[in-house]
Amino acid sequence: MTQPLSGGCQCGQLRYEIRGTPGGLTVCHCADCQKQSGSAFGLSLDVDPDDFHQVSGTARTFEWLCDSGRTKVCVFCPDCGSRIYHKGEWGISLKAGTLDDTSTLEPGHHVWTKRRQPWVAIPDGVSQCEDDG
């Protein structure tokens, strides 16, 4: 990956940089992620909040109570609606599809596989969990 990683929302008014090395990439198959993404799963890249820098645009936020009982702040572009990241006490879960260069993304973990669409294949050897473990 080239540093810093950059990305933004679909319309481009909100731009960010990640100045540091992100953590792991998780595919989440839960019902919330399917609803939020309008797709089959969510892609979450662990990012240290100190490494995330919004460099242009404005964001809006709302709070969401997770099934786990934890609250997360959902950050999105008010113009195009792209979800950018979720923030909680654990840090930032960046919606990795908003990165400019997604070619190097390789999920290391799949969660909520009991909600997985049957046509989504998980490669052999990649760790997975039935729920949020």
Q: Site residues (CB under 5 A) for Zn ion?
A: 9, 11, 13, 28, 30, 32-33, 42, 77, 79-80
Q: Are the beta carbons of 11 and 80 closer than 8 angstroms?
A: yes
- CA 25 to CA 15: how far, in whole Å? 20
Q: Shortest approach of Zn ion to residue 46 CB, angstroms?
A: 14
Cβ-based nearer residue to Zn ion, 10 or 21: 10
Cβ-based nearer residue to Zn ion, 9 or 45: 9
Cβ-based nearer residue to Zn ion, 50 or 132: 132
Q: Shortest approach of Zn ion to residue 121 CB, angstroms?
A: 18
Residue 28 identity: C
- CA 102 to CA 70: how far, in whole Å? 29
Q: Shortest approach of Zn ion to residue 24 CB, angstroms?
A: 15
Residues in the chain, overall count: 133
Q: Are the beta carbons of 13 and 58 closer than 8 angstroms?
A: yes
